Amino acid sequence: MIRTGIGYDSHRFVEGRPLILGGVTIPFHLGLAGHSDADAVAHALTDALLGGAGLGDIGSHFPDTDDQWKDADSMLLLASAVKLVRQSGWTPSSCDVTIIAEAPKLLPHVAQIKSNCATALGITAADVGMKGKTNEGMGFIGRGEGIAVIAVATLTALS
Ligand code: MG
């Protein structure tokens, strides 16, 4: 048995915050606004996993009204989501992620982001797709106001 989940997340660029994607701090003059560390890769993947397992979404498990998650390391939230998925009888077998940002260039960081996500999901880096692209100058992403991430996760039944 196989199930698939999709996740989407977006965050606004602001000054005075780090830019963290997939647990990697990327050198840039802007970071992402958010209650947690605003790691949009971790958030989109978390939603993909929870969605695939029929477990709701990131906000229902880690509400942004809860001080416990203030500035939280979202890769830990992702690892918690993996635990929930496994407790419900599923396990991640692969994922595919697209990061959409006009800047900075993501390619130099993709291997590390991929490796971090593989570790969190308990799969190999070969089973993680990780791609960066721009929005061709269009819309909020094109204007450099923020970034968006789309993730798909495939889950396999544990038994
Ligand atoms: Mg988010």
pLDDT of residue 63: 81
The CA 152 to ligand 1 mean position distance, Å, reads: 15
The neighbourhood of ligand 1, an ion, using CB within 5 A, equals 9, 43
The CA 9 to ligand 1 mean position distance, Å, reads: 5
Tokens of 37: 């560390």
pLDDT of residue 68: 78
pLDDT of residue 3: 98
Say which residue the tokens 């978390």 belong to: 46
The CA 149 to ligand 1 mean position distance, Å, reads: 9
Instruction: List per-residue pLDDT tens for the chain, 159 residues long.
Output: 999 999 999 999 999 999 999 999 999 999 999 999 999 999 999 999 999 999 999 988 988 888 877 888 999 999 999 999 999 999 999 999 999 999 999 999 999 999 999 999 999 999 999 999 999 999 999 999 999 999 999 999 998
The CA 159 to ligand 1 mean position distance, Å, reads: 32
How many C-beta atoms surround the C-beta of residue 138 within 10 A? 10
The CA 10 to ligand 1 mean position distance, Å, reads: 6
pLDDT of residue 69: 77
pTM score of the predicted model = 0.96
Closest-CA residue to 125 (of 114, 110, 139, 138): 114
3-state secondary structure labels for all residues of 41-63: HHHHHHHHHHHHCCCCCHHHHCC
pLDDT of residue 57: 94
The CA 123 to ligand 1 mean position distance, Å, reads: 23
